[in-house]
Structure 1
Amino acid sequence: AGETLESYHWLLKVCLSLMKCSPQTIVTDRCKPLEAAVSQVFPRSLHRFSLTHIMRKIPEKLGGLHNYDGVRKAFTKAVYDTLKVVEFEAAWGFMVHSFGVIDNEWLRSLYEDRARWAPVYLKDTFFAGIATARPGETLNPFFERYVHKQTPLKEFLDKYELALHKKHREETLSDIESLASNTAELKTKCSFETQLSRVYTRDMFKKFQVEVEEMYSCFSTTQLHVDGPFVIFLVKERVQGESNRREIRDFEVLYNRSVGEVRCICSCFNFYGYLCRHALCVLNFNGVEEVPLRYVLPRWRKDFKRIQAAADNGLNGGFVNGTDRVQWFDQLYKNALQVVEEGTVSLDHYKVAMQVLQQSLERVHSVEDKQE
């Protein structure tokens, strides 16, 4: 149908009908027709632009400049090495004036849209992993492994089914491994690591574990300002700068003692869904031995699907819509998943689960025979 307002509007309407509600945040490529369609279909959603797509386009958009390497490095520094808006503005100004690219159309349009893609402007937007905010990091859009812009519709539908099948299989295997392994390999004696090794899925725990390990690169935590229950701390960290030189960077962390709220200027929690090394240092400094539960998102828990299934069953109160096949599928899938998860505990559990599933299938087939 082409990249038109009408085609995007139709597509987003279909998505809305499937989701039943508007998403909190939408991340897309920069595209005027798509931007207009999002504002029409999801007027209350926050629309942000993908930093990954922007960084990928740098060679295409700026590769022809005679001072390309310098511009690219300055661009990357402005995006990733700034923690405050004033720092970003200064770094951007230095780039466009020092390299004479103030009239570059692509850079000019990016600057106009900066509040929708530059990390310093997005710290109050909750992404939980769907946006990148670290240098050298890329997102691998799931369907890009299977389709591209020139993929015919019929081939797209076939590959779409294949992609979803593989994705479900990967998620199921990951869930099984997370549930089967009650203890993860600990690399420190930090209580935060021990706590979340029992809670997080295997993949999420590995990401959080990096933050725990990197607490040791933070060598100073000092109190800057106190205002009632609110305290601002300064955490100093040794980081790797240009040419592999070690640099010291300052991170301000706001801590509310009364409610256990902690917020770092790097905004790791909003970007990725787990606390950063700087926030952990402040909690540790204040004698807190466990990550507050508000920072342990249910979606990252290894028992999330089981809890969600129980909650959904409770909300439905056992009621099943006599015509809603989607609801039937959801209920069957969630209940079957619990049998699958329990069936991986041991060989005996597996044998019982297989027997139950086979008996269930035979009983379902018997319903078809009676109807005939």
Structure 2
Amino acid sequence: MIESFIWMFEEFKKAMPGGKPKMIITDQHAAMTRAISIAFSTIFHRLCIWHVTSKFSVKLPHSTYKEYWCEFQKTIWDTDNKDEFDAKWNIVVTKAGLIDHPWLRSMFDLRESWVPAYARQFFAARMSSIQRAEGNHGFFKQYISRRNSLIDFIIRFERALSHQRQKELVADHIDAFEVAQCILPMPMNKQMATLYTRTLFQKFEEELIQSTTCFLELKTEDASKVVFNVSERKNWETRVAEVVSVKDYDHASCSCKRFEFVGIICKHILALFRRDQIEYMLDKYILKRWKKTAKSGLVSDANGNEIKDYADPGLLIKRSTMSRLASDVVEDALMSEEGYELLSETLKSFQVKLKLLKDGPSNNEVGGSSSQTQYMKDPKRVRCKGRSKRVTGAKKKAMKRGIRHCRECGHIGQ
């Protein structure tokens, strides 16, 4: 089985246009773990935190699990650095009388592979488990099953993929043409509402609102950097993060490592920005993957060749390019009255030409008259199925009316 996983990972690396990934999340599969150490020897291998935490109820005694599970949860999720996690873990294990528990000891030895505090320096878009893969499995199970033949599987899979891409196009359209509403009237908030997608803007605005409850205290300062302690009161507990501001490079970092792990600036750094009255976010704090124009660029393989989406090639790129071009042209035209009139006349001319392209050739081009309107009528109804009615002759029709004819001469009788 290890050889099969190695072959799969090697093929996966060939299919990835940007090279091998920097991190991979799996469950505790022994053969897969061994194959990853061979095929991806330099990447960070994480264990799915859901698979680890779900075993606490099975491995621990029932009464102990029921009493101390909440403390284990807070230790795992609410610690920002390694030392804090180690200290709180030892406290909980000692209180629960589980110092010599073999499974807990093995999980503590593997803590660098599954505890969030040990993985915050690696970007993971906030993922700590394989829930995204499980979600895809649940989605495709609506369309396919193990009873499908190979042809049925391909047809159903393509149908599911088309449905997923259609929903993605709708979401991209909303992000491109609908601006999220800003709650706080700040330039930085409006800037993010313009750049970020709606979902990411909501997450950013949550951090921005929470930054108003943070309090800064100067810790140390020298010629190169300034260090602040940022305190926050949450659930009747005061938590303190350390923010370092480098003067020469105009750079700020936080001990919570949220920007490095999630890709969104944290509330502690935002509190520092509010203190310094910084109105606009620097470009280095805005990742391209969260922008509305994330798909506007070209994707290239290892040889520099463009990779196209065969399901809908170039649609999003063309739409994004035309939108930016139109926006720039409108802004330039509004600078003067002559530019406004010139753009208006040009757009009207383009509109007429585009309508001709859409409608096709007119009646004049095919020899008809453009002044006469021709209407398409419904075709005559024809009975094409079932038994037709028998045709009644003239003789029978006359008999039904009560008219009698002479059998010899055929004349109407009295």
Which residue pairs with 2:49 in the alignment?
A: 51
User: Structure 2, unaligned stretches of length 5 or more?
Assistant: 327-347, 361-414
Report the more deviating stretch, 350-359 or 227-236.
350-359
Tell me, in whole angstroms, the C-alpha distance in 1 between the residues paired with 2:355 and 2:47. 46
The answer as to 2:217 corresponding to 1:215 is no
Which whole-Å deviations, capped at 9, do the CAs of 1:106-132 have from their partners, x for residues lacking one?
A: 322211110122122112212123337
- What is the aligned counterpart of 1:226 among 213, 221, 224? 221
**Aligned residues of 1:52 and 1:139 also touching (Cα < 8 A):** no
What SS class does the counterpart of residue 295 from structure 2 fall into?
Answer: helix
The answer as to 2:291 corresponding to 1:294 is no
- When residues 203 and 253 of structure 1 are mapped into structure 2, their CA distance, relative to the original with a 3 A threshold, is same
- Give identity over the alignment, percent: 25
Q: Which amino acid aligns with 2:95?
A: S
Report the more deviating stretch, 229-238 or 97-106.
97-106
Tell me, in whole angstroms, the C-alpha distance in 1 between the residues paired with 2:35 and 2:90. 32
TM-score by length of 1: 0.76
**Aligned residues of 1:128 and 1:269 also touching (Cα < 8 A):** no
Task: Please list, as runs of the form range in 1=range in 2, the aligned pairs for 1:1-372 lying within 5 A after superposition.
Answer: 4-20=1-17, 21-62=19-60, 64-131=61-128, 141-146=134-139, 152=146, 161=158, 163-181=160-178, 183-218=179-214, 220-240=215-235, 246-306=236-296, 308-309=297-298, 327=307, 329-330=308-309, 333-339=312-318
Aligned residue pair count: 327
Which whole-Å deviations, capped at 9, do the CAs of 1:173-231 have from their partners, x for residues lacking one?
A: 111001011x321111233211111101111111111111111221x112111243221
Shift of 1:160: 5.2
- When residues 121 and 312 of structure 1 are mapped into structure 2, their CA distance, relative to the original with a 3 A threshold, is closer
**Aligned residues of 2:81 and 2:256 also touching (Cα < 8 A):** no
What SS class does the counterpart of residue 98 from structure 2 fall into?
Answer: coil
Tell me, in whole angstroms, the C-alpha distance in 2 between the residues paired with 1:312 and 1:47. 26
User: Structure 1, unaligned stretches of length 5 or more?
Assistant: 133-137, 241-245, 321-326, 360-372
What SS class does the counterpart of residue 63 from structure 2 fall into?
Answer: coil
**Aligned residues of 2:116 and 2:128 also touching (Cα < 8 A):** no
Tell me, in whole angstroms, the C-alpha distance in 1 between the residues paired with 2:31 and 2:351. 52
What SS class does the counterpart of residue 67 from structure 1 fall into?
Answer: helix
Shift of 1:147: 6.1
**Aligned residues of 1:225 and 1:233 also touching (Cα < 8 A):** yes
* CA RMSD between the two structures: 3.6
Shift of 1:59: 3.1
Tell me, in whole angstroms, the C-alpha distance in 2 between the residues paired with 1:33 and 1:174. 39
Tell me, in whole angstroms, the C-alpha distance in 2 between the residues paired with 1:340 and 1:129. 30
Tell me, in whole angstroms, the C-alpha distance in 1 between the residues paired with 2:55 and 2:352. 53
- When residues 110 and 300 of structure 1 are mapped into structure 2, their CA distance, relative to the original with a 3 A threshold, is same
Which residue pairs with 1:323 in the alignment?
A: none
More helix by share: 1
